[in-house]
Amino acid sequence: MINTEVKPFQATAFHNGEFVEVNEASLKGQWSVFFFYPADFTFVCPTELGDLADHYEELKSRGVEVYSVSTDTHFTHKAWHDTSETIGKIRFPMIGDPTGAITRNFGVMIEEAGLAERGTFVIDPEGKIQIIEINAGGIGRDASELVRKIKAAQYVAAHPGEVCPAKWKEGEETLAPSLDLVGKI
């Protein structure tokens, strides 16, 4: 799926107190994160979404929009947002995918449960997937690591011919792959 375009979709999201339409064209021209999670009103999910909400302003400042996605409806997202202090912090669109079409497009549907895996997809401004991470249901994700990966993806996109080594942080040295480096790292 890396470097493939996001498949066409149409969905309704709860965003800043309103219901808004979102589709694949909404992603063009900016970096995006699709953050799939199993279900509203659960246990690990609110800890992940709260952590992501805490990093949202930093992501926005980097030109990144976040879309959380579950197979719940946009109405359920609104109810959860209105009743949970943690979820009430969210300022990014919460996409409802009750048919599971988007979840299947990204390959993270748990068919027997009708729920999404914990899948994270970073999409570049051309609508192509650059990063994929999928965790087992009991393992929560870390938004600070997601931010680090996005910084690396943005750096590589802006600097052709350079790559970011393991644990790379913004401002650190990168690598320029060449014959001279083979066997020397």
* List 45, 64, 66, 123, catalytic entry: 45
The Cα 37–Cα 34 span in angstroms is 10
Q: How far is CA 183 from CA 64, 166, 172, 178, 179, in A?
A: 36, 16, 21, 11, 9
Query: Is 45 known to be catalytic?
Result: yes
Q: How far apart are CA 124 and CA 69, in angstroms?
A: 18
Query: Beta strands 31-36 and 64-70: pairing type?
Result: parallel
Rg of the chain (C-alpha set): 17
Residues 6+ apart with CB under 8 A from 180: none
Encoded tokens for 23: 């589709």
Q: Which residues have a catalytic role annotated?
A: 45
